[in-house]
Amino acid sequence: MTVGTVPEVTRISVIGTGYLGATHAVCMSELGFSVVGVDVDQAKADSLAGGTVPFFEPGLEELLRKNLDSGRLSFTTSFAEAADADVHFLCVGTPQRPDSQAADLRYLDAAVDGLLAAGPKAGSLVVGKSTVPAGTAAALAGRLAAQAPMVRLGWNPEFLREGFAVEDTLRPDRLVLGVPAGAGGHRAEETLRAVYATAITAGTPVVVTDFATAELVKAAANAFLATKISFINAMAEICEVTGGDVQTLSTALGYDARIGRRFLGSGVGFGGGCLPKDIRAFRARAEELGAGRAVGFLAEVDAINLRRRTRVAELATELLGGDVAGRRVAVLGAAFKPNSDDIRDSPALDVAELLREAGAVVTVTDPAAIPNARRRHPELRYADNAASAAADADIVLHLTEWADFREIDPAALRAHVRTPVVIDGRNTLDIARWRAAGWTYHALGRPNV
């Protein structure tokens, strides 16, 4: 980098090319930077280098091929090829540890080991994007000070929504820049502002803060969203015993500007690779710091969410006469959300497994996630479309709100089933249309619809 008030950034490395890293690498090259993506998985690096995204994300593969063709983007397993970058983004996963609810930082540590061994150039900036427990950045800054004193650190948490990751990277709703105090922090801030100049010029708000706050922003955001979802699902439980309608309740609450309608959609709950593990890691870190009581409510947020899955299985069992053994169940959905093939902590697959374990013959369909689901759950049956999944079904469960499923012709689907009974686990189907087609409709939190 050149010395001056605005650091020059021309080359970027992205370490870790999973969902976050691949998206970030492609989008940084789309912004005009020379980008190298680094991953220890040769097959993943080869797939991306060949123009194929190894997961489903709308619009990403087209941008990948465009930027590979431009020559600005490459992928490798060699850290040495990234050593000359001006900025190094750490985008590795931080999953839940197998022995506790805490975050597993092994991949982050390994990424830093690889970068340091390659010898990053003096004056470069290492930027954490991975979701980490508070205190991780400070520890990493100390490590860099000891092992690579001419390399600085910044923290820039990601806020990607699966299915909208390209939009969220190129046109983020906010940028959080965690930097240390002093001249080094000012330099790190200016470098990050140079990286994100396009978004900043377009009006994206920028929050500059310390490392701990930057780490906590992501944890707090996910904790709040999870809490909001579990709150409305707790209200659904109350509606079921009082005769209320949770959808009408959500609508009424949403008109209050202090509350808002977003994330007040009741149903089978949240899943994926972020919210569940992040709220657990947040609680675990708070416990380590002696502040566990402050976020103790997240245990109930988690419990409410998991109860929704059990409740769908229980409702299906009730509707099938109290015993699902040998009954045929069609599950519409495998991904944890639409426009994704991510099956991590998928409510749909959890429900499918609960019913299969109880003896049901379960067939799952999904527009994008069947290959991943089949690898994780080979014991389930799969179909390419809703009609095939519903063949001779005794009940149909709508558990991932893909547009493909919302737009199904219920009259046409009825011709394939044995019994026209549907549980709308996402409260997004057109009740009148399904009932007009002869279906018996049920949904969580809506006993009187």
280-300 as b/e, with b when 16 or more CB fall inside 10 Å? bbbbbbbbeeeeeeebeebee
Distance in angstroms (rounded) separating the CA atoms of residues 324 and 86: 59
CA distance 5 to 151: 18
**Lateral strand order in the sheet of 440-443:** 381-382, 361-365, 328-332, 395-398, 421-424, 440-443
**Nearest to residue 254, comparing CAs of 266, 243, 242?**
266
Per the CB < 8 A criterion, the answer to whether 268 and 426 are in contact is yes
Q: How far is CA 99 from the centre of its chain?
A: 22
CA distances 434 to 108, 133, 348, 414, Å, are 49, 46, 21, 9
- pLDDT at position 5, please? 52
Closest CA to 76 of 40, 111, 107, 109: 40
20, 45, 95, 90: which is closest to 344 by C-alpha? 95
Which tokens belong to 65?
């091929």
Marked catalytic residue, from 27, 91, 239, 274:
274
Q: Which residues pair with 74 in a beta bridge?
A: 36
The neighbouring-strand residues paired with 269 are none
Integer Cα distance of 47 and 93 in angstroms: 19
Q: What are phi and psi for residue 126, nearest 5 degrees?
A: -95, 130
261 token code pair: 């309608």
Query: What is the mean pLDDT for each group of 10 consecutive residues in the chain (449 residues)?
Result: 60 97 98 97 97 95 98 97 97 94 96 96 96 96 94 96 95 97 90 97 98 97 97 97 96 96 95 95 97 97 97 97 97 97 97 98 98 97 98 98 96 98 97 97 91
Structure tokens that stand for 352 in this block: 């499918």
Q: Which two tokens stand for residue 110?
A: 């390994």
Contact 444, 244 (CB under 8 A): no
Domains and CATH numbers, the chain: 11-209 (3.40.50.720), 245-449 (3.40.50.720)
Q: Is 274 a catalytic residue?
A: yes
Report the alpha-carbon distance of residue 348 to residue 344 in Å, rounded.
10
